[in-house]
């Protein structure tokens, strides 16, 4: 009996081969067909049943005009190099920052392990081609696609992914004022859309995209990135994003810190762009076992130009280094007053992000210094 992995590999290859024979393309486990206007995407999922007697083949399909993602990328990530036509087409199919397509259909079929996968795969692909052809015939251009988008039931139209599709479709047909008004209405009711970046949420950026050029220029200048936020994991390595001044939403630092477990996610570093000798960093073995440090200029009394300090709660210092913070490659020993929970650590990050400093009432224990030539000095 094949393993689940072997089963998926077998079926994936059957799907890829059958798709190719029909003139369909495959990328990232998805099957798609593209023309001058549309890209239709089929997402097949293969799994075995609990008894190991049959295969469950489920699939869903959607469709969207090619231009929608171009508009989204121009508004959301105007400075990103997304490659040539083929790479951009692949991104439309498998990328994260894309406009969701309108549903074409879905189905689930059970196939016995002893049956040839070809029949089920052929039927799935034939249904996909049929649904695609019927939709394109009924909606030959973006204007017709917009009408289909706006025909969704009212309770579904307000879903974030559907609003995104409607806003971008309005822009695609030249209705920028209507698109901007819809984006502004969503923002007014506290909705920001299904994705966000360092310079704003997708609804915010689409709203700006619909405004005059001078308004766009003012917004982009105002949201120029000011900080780098680095997430450190023992299993996937560091990931760094950029933050613009004032763009951090309340609670987001806390959400990152709350994921600390001392194994996977265990450290967070906030650095002002252009000032590598200043940063705030936290490391933890759990959401209530976090140590926070700040590096900043100073320390001439120790013969150094900058110092890394371990931060303590205001008014509490002088106790022994008897609290262990277990990390993937080391154990940090700190004082009881230097152990923070998520909320307290997040407050320090918010202060540092907004003001460039932490409260003066915090205790600071020098740990390490650097001379002008970069020489490291132990200050413990």
Query: pLDDT digit string (tens) for 163-210?
Result: 999 999 999 999 999 999 999 999 999 999 998 877 789 999 999 999
Residue-wise pLDDT for 258-267, tens only, equals: 989 887 889 9
Q: In the prediction, which pLDDT does 50 show?
A: 67
pLDDT, averaged across the chain: 91
Q: Rounded mean pLDDT of 213-237?
A: 87
Q: In the prediction, which pLDDT does 248 show?
A: 62
CA 186, 190, 196: angle at the middle one, nearest 5? 80
d(CA 305, CA 293): 17
Q: Rounded mean pLDDT of 305-325?
A: 88
Residue-wise pLDDT for 334-360, tens only, equals: 999 999 999 999 999 999 999 999 999
Q: Is residue 292 within 8 Å of residue 280, measured between CB atoms?
A: yes
d(CA 88, CA 85): 5
First to last CA, the chain: 61
pLDDT of 246 over the 70 cut: no
Cite the DSSP H helix spans in the chain. Answer: 4-21, 66-76, 85-94, 117-138, 142-150, 154-157, 160-172, 176-188, 202-209, 213-222, 252-257, 342-355
Output 333 or 3, whichever has higher pLDDT: 333
pLDDT of 251 over the 70 cut: no
Q: Rounded mean pLDDT of 74-102?
A: 90
Q: What are phi and psi of 219, to 5 degrees?
A: -65, -45
């Amino acid at each position: 009996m094949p393993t689940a992995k072997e089963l998926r590999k077998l079926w994936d290859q059957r799907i890829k081969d059958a798709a190719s024979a029909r003139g369909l393309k495959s990328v990232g486990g998805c099957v798609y067909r593209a023309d001058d206007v549309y890209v239709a995407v089929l997402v097949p999922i293969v799994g075995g049943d609990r008894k190991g007697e049959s295969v469950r083949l489920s699939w869903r399909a959607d469709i969207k005009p090619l231009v929608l993602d171009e508009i989204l990328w121009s508004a959301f990530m105007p400075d990103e190099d997304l490659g040539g036509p083929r790479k951009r087409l692949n991104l439309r199919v498998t990328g994260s920052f894309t406009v969701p397509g309108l549903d074409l259909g879905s189905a689930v079929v059970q196939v016995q392990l002893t049956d040839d996968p070809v029949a089920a795969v052929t039927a799935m692909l034939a249904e996909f081609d049929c649904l695609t052809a019927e939709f394109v015939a009924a909606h030959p251009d973006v204007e017709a696609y917009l009408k289909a988008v706006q025909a969704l039931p009212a309770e579904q139209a307000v879903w974030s992914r559907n609003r995104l599709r409607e806003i971008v479709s309005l822009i695609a047909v030249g209705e920028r004022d209507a698109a901007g008004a819809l984006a502004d209405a969503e923002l007014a009711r506290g909705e920001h859309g299904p994705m966000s970046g360092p310079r704003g949420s997708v609804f915010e950026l689409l709203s700006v995209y619909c405004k005059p050029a001078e308004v766009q220029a003012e917004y982009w200048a105002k949201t120029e990135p000011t900080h780098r936020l680095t997430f450190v994991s023992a299993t996937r390595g560091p990931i760094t994003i950029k933050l613009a001044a004032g763009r951090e939403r309340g609670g987001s630092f806390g959400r990152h810190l709350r994921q600390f477990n001392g194994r996977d996610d265990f450290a967070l570093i906030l650095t002002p762009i252009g000032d590598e000798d200043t940063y705030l960093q936290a490391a933890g073995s759990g959401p209530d076992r976090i140590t926070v440090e700040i590096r900043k200029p100073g320390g001439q009394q120790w013969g150094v130009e900058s110092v890394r300090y371990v931060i303590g709660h205001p008014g509490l210092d002088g106790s022994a280094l008897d609290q262990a913070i277990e990390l993937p490659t080391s154990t940090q020993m700190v004082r009881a007053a230097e152990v923070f929970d998520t909320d307290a650590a997040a407050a320090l990050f918010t202060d540092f992000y907004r003001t460039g400093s932490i409260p003066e009432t915090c205790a600071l224990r020098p740990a390490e210094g650097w001379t002008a030539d970069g020489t490291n000095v132990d200050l413990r």
